[in-house]
Amino acid sequence: IFAVIGEELGFIGELLLITLFVLLIARIIYLAQSALRQEQWFGGYAAWGIGLWIAYQTIINIGVNIGLLPTKGLTLPLISYGGSSLWVSCAAIGIILRVAYEVQTPVSSRIRQRVS
């Protein structure tokens, strides 16, 4: 799919897509670090894992498309329509959104919401 994006949108489109992936991965890793600083171990490590998974899959897919790596058959996360791959990518982003909520919301207000 990266090759098709390059064909349709050109070099600028590919650079834009790579930039968006870098920003997404950087934000996820920053969120993971924030969760670990707040001693939210599960959320922090889950975010780290999801961030590394998206980074690994993106690097492999782009590397295959530009001819640097042998073919692997991995989809481009959040872009390729692979059925189950798209479902799992969306579920992973849902987990990231929940970790972001837990990191940004003070503990006292979360307790108050559960009690009432």
Which tens digits make up the pLDDT trace of 3-53?
899 999 999 999 999 999 999 999 999 999 999 999 999 999 999 999 999
pLDDT at 88 over 80: yes
pLDDT band for position 54 (50/70/90)? very high
Question: What digits encode the pLDDT tens for the residues 58-68?
Answer: 999 999 998 99
pLDDT for the residue numbered 73 = 84
Output phi, psi for 77, to 5 deg: -55, 135
Q: What is the pTM of this model?
A: 0.86
Q: Which residues make Cβ contacts (< 8 Å) with residue 20, sequence separation at least 6?
A: none
3-state secondary structure of 71: coil
**CA 100 to CA 27: how far, in whole Å?**
10
